[in-house]
Chains A and B, each alone.
Chain A
Amino acid sequence: MNKLYTRLGIAGSVGLSLAGLWLLISLFGPVLAPHGPGEIVDYEVFLPMSAEHPLGTDYLGRSVISRIMDGARFTVGIAFAAALLAALMGTGLGLFSAVSGKAVDESISRLMDALLSIPNKIFALVMIAAFGSSVPLLLLITGITYTPGVYRIARALAVNINQMDYIQVARARGEGRAYLALSEVLPNMIHPMLTDFGLRFVYVVLLLSSLSFLGLGVQPPNADLGSLVRENMSGLWEGAPAIMAPAAAIASLTIGVNLFIDSLRGRD
């Protein structure tokens, strides 16, 4: 373990610790939380930090720390699933167009360019306005939004690898496209794609949080970190931890993952 930390450097180790902490919270948060997320624990709202309520209470007198520990699983979970969706679709399409002929490559690339030209927040707003907000829809929207970016990177990598001699050898052996893509090209682009996955994850967290902040994300009674910031808005004037804590949670999650990913990059 010590060796891993020296390899990552200080920033990387901090990032890994933060990311690991959030992963644990999102997995076990509901079990570990001192109170239920909907439980009203005090008649005072926007209480400051205290031993009884480590992060104070929210606008209805609920325990903020319990709500964050419960809400983290939405933020982390949806963002992870959406980033995975984007990574799989983008990498898959990128590989497919790199090993296919020019016509296929061009059509996919132009389609992706078209998607890329739609501002992602506007796209999300339109979709939510049309279908109403739900977790599967949020997942799908964010997944689709980030697919073109992944596709661009995956295709560029795959096209480069496709020029290598070992691909020529495999082609001269008579191998089919599926084998070329999956066995020869994919293993050599997996590392940069993993790095990219980490970055996409951060973007998705930010997009989800901003949607929730607008009230279009995860719907009550559930709340993700973005919704927690929104619902406690009125506490801002009192400087209540109820609004600072979820904001800090979003920041530490995204910065942590970012630091970790950046320290991995140097070694690739």
Chain B
Amino acid sequence: MSDLVQVDKLRVVARAEEGAEITIVKDVSFSIPRGEVLALIGESGSGKTTIALALMGYARRGCHIEGGLIRVGDTDVTALKRKELRSLRGRRVSYVAQSAASGFDPAMKIMDQILETTRIHKTLPRQEAEAKAVDLFRALALPEPESIGSRYPHQVSGGQLQRLMAAMALITDPELVIFDEPTTALDVTTQIDVLRAFKHVVAERGITAVYVSHDLAVVAQMADQVVVLNQGEVRESGRTGQIIKAPTDDYTRQLLAAARPALRSATVELEADVPVLAVEGVSAGYGKIGRDGRPAIPILEDISLAIPRGTTLGVIGESGSGKSTLARAIAGLIPPTAGTLKLAGETLPNDMSQRTRDQFRRVQIVFQNADTALNPSHSVERILARPLAFYHGLQEQGRKQRVRELLDLVRLPATIAEQPCSRLSGGQKQRINLARALAAEPDLILCDEVTSALDTVVATAILDLLTELRRELKVSYMFISHDISTVRAVCDDVLVLYAGRKVEQGGREHFAAPPFHPYTDLLINSVPELEQGWLESAAQSRKLAPVNARGEGLCPFLERCPVRIEGKCSTEPPPWRQLALGNAVLCHHTEADLHGTASLNTARANASY
């Protein structure tokens, strides 16, 4: 008996409101040999998490396991009683959740939480368990393994918390570990370290695991076997290499295609006139504005950019880099504390109460999360009609007509207009979100991570729509994202933000090959590629010594820069350097140096572009 886990014809049903039952997992079968990692891949609603939870004998509220066999070791999980299930969970099968930030109790020290499972299941005395936890911390490449356990969750970073959660799952030496989208909420540069740590422990301890993910590239690094799911059914299953190289199912091919965003060019005749938006030396932040004119929490510093009519500017950076703040400052939601905004040459007042209605109309903002960006108590019609009445003074009949046209523009049926927006799917909501911005007939749309919350296939459709609209309506976009492949796919120019400062700017073609700013280089090379073995070949991030920074206006990336020049970078502000190809970087290194440093960070040319 070499298979540790066997799942045969598993069915999970959910009870809908009127007593009807919906089958959310339909006859799913697979088996996992001891020491292998199986990936469950699919979009949201594919049933991947439901299957993973069923392995612990758990079904979410309103759902139950209706039929099929789940065997872990010698135990038939579906036949277990409540008490027996309790001794299974956490001890023999453990779970690593997606959001470690909400998975930890903020009021408890990390070590106490990690040892909770050993205490509940009485597997190890406290002393030994602590020693074991420290071993795990070391194996997961956590900093200061001896003392990190005595900190509170808010004192460690998101990526570290995710690894600590894995330590919590592994402390009882479970037979099976379930990783449920453990890196989805992380920045790419963090994700790579977490993946590496996971891979290391899994290999070192011969752990059998189920890895739930929507990201094929991540799965390619982690899994031996892949099961592709769609709407609760298995579409295809096989070895990882076969799935990514020679998929046999159409749906798998669709997923693979969506994982490699195609370049979209929407070449619009560029009129050589004033840019739609020019941002000159803008700074912004939160909190009280001090005597020197700077806010208490400065976020953006000295940002300049220009968006010519009909083009798309991509803004990329990690969480906390200030990219959303930039969009909010342009929209007027956060008044800039310095600098000027110019809309087609005319100065846009920084204070939003000074702006005219027409100025508001010409800049529209579309938020990441359509769930919270649409008022749940309004119908689709009301949401779309408001800007029509507000900006264009359309009467009822004209509004109705225009709402239909807008729905058609975003490829939605007219029948949707009467519905409350809470009934729509994620992709539909995002289209309404976009249609609302289009209703204003703006010159510029600020897209703040508009595809991040969507499944890859839906996101691809939204990106296509954006490109089409741009061609049809000649609108300009500022496209904010943390995902460099998306940005490269839809944008003409790219701007890289780090800690509120612009570190690189240039045409998208310059982001295909070095020279880059060292940060851009790190960002590009942290994106997993759709091939096995990428994780091993990607360069390790080196541990850097702390720097002794002296002076004002130093390079923001100094602390993390693997190629910093000691004595120079830590004392002098870097120059804004124009490179021969047309992009510009904020760095002390010369162009020739940057060619060289890129190979320090990674030995690989970026083949996917």
Contacts and interface: CB of A to CB of B under 8 A. Distances in A.
A172 B369 contact: no
A164 B377 CA distance: 13
Nearest to A191: B377
B365 A174 contact: no
Interface residues of B, number: 27
Given A164-B372, A174-B355, A175-B390, A169 B377 contact: no
B375 interface: yes
B122 interface: no
A164 B372 CA distance: 6
Interface string A166-179: 10110111110000
Nearest to A167: B375
Interface string A154-174: 000000000011101101111
A174 B365 CA distance: 12
B364 interface: yes
Contact of A187 (B364, B365, B372, B378): B378
B377 A174 contact: no
A169 B355 contact: no
A169 B365 contact: yes
A173 B367 contact: no
A180 B331 CA distance: 17
Nearest to A186: B377
Given A173-B387, A188-B377, A166 B365 contact: no
Given A168-B333, A168-B367, A173 B373 contact: no
Interface string B551-567: 00000000000000000
Nearest to B332: A172
A184 B382 CA distance: 11
B375 A172 contact: no
Given A171-B333, A173-B390, A165 B376 contact: no
Contacts of B333: 168, 171-172
B352 interface: yes
B357 A188 contact: no
A165 B352 contact: no
Contacts of A171: 333, 352
Contacts of A172: 331-333, 360, 363-365
Contacts of B440: 173
B357 A169 contact: no
Interface string B341-362: 0000000000010010100110
A266 B161 CA distance: 34
A174 B378 contact: no
Interface in B383-402: 386-387, 390-391
B378 A165 contact: no
B369 A165 contact: yes
B436 interface: yes
**Which of A169, A184, A187 has most B Cβ within 10 Å?**
A169
Contacts of B367: 165, 168-169
B360 A187 contact: no
Contacts of B332: 172
Contact of B373 (A169, A175, A187, A188): A169
Interface in A217-244: none
Contacts of B390: 173-175
B375 A166 contact: yes
Given A169-B436, A172-B332, A173-B390, A184 B364 contact: no
Contact of B372 (A166, A173, A175): A166
A187 B383 CA distance: 14
B282 interface: no
**Which of B361, B372, B376 has most A Cβ within 10 Å?**
B372
A173 B356 CA distance: 10
B374 interface: yes
A166 B383 CA distance: 10
Interface of A: 164-166, 168-169, 171-175, 184, 187-188
19 contacts: A165-B367, A165-B369, A165-B372, A165-B373, A166-B372, A166-B374, A166-B375, A168-B328, A169-B365, A169-B367, A169-B373, A169-B436, A173-B364, A173-B386, A173-B390, A173-B391, A174-B390, A187-B377, A187-B378
Given A165-B369, A172-B360, 7 more contacts: A166-B373, A166-B374, A169-B365, A172-B365, A174-B360, A174-B361, A188-B376
